[in-house]
Amino acid sequence: MSQKISSVELAQVATATDAPVRTKVDRNFGLPNGLYAATVGLYFGFLAIMTALFMNPELAIPMVLFAGVIIAGFGICGIWATMNPENDTSPLSWGQFANRGIQTLSGHLTASEAAAQVLILPALIVCWGLAIAVIVAFI
């Protein structure tokens, strides 16, 4: 609920300074980079299946655009995670990830549970592509 705060009350709790304030920024999710690479690989695997399945010169431009969107989506996030102000956190290594797991809003997950949660959608998309390939092969 919002409430009106008078400038006198605000001045009592506010601190004004001329010095710039450095904020601590955590822009990564703490997952190993390999999980992101696997996700990108699975998305490209789906595109490869669709490209091989529907080999048509007219689909060249859409497939290149799809690949560009995947690269841009993960590339921009990678750049964002390393931009200023300096990000003093880094993703977990595979060993740290395997030992610690990761804390989420729904509770602690082991490494295998977190990997399954991250990779389930891309894996299902690849399975969907394979199902389409089977349907096209029999029709």
pLDDT at site 28: 77
The residue that leads in pLDDT, 91 or 117, is 117
Q: What is the pLDDT of residues 48-63, one digit of tens each?
A: 999 999 998 999 999 9
pTM of the model: 0.77
pLDDT at site 77: 86
Beta bridge partners of 53: none
pLDDT at site 30: 80
pLDDT at site 80: 83
Helices (H), the chain: 7-13, 33-53, 60-82, 94-100, 111-138
112: Cβ–Cβ under 8 A, 6 or more apart, which residues?
Answer: none
Q: What is the pLDDT of residues 77-86, one digit of tens each?
A: 888 877 766 6
Length of the chain in terms of residues written = 139
Q: Is the peptide bond before 85 cis (omega within 30 degrees of 0)?
A: yes
Q: Return mean pLDDT, the chain.
A: 88
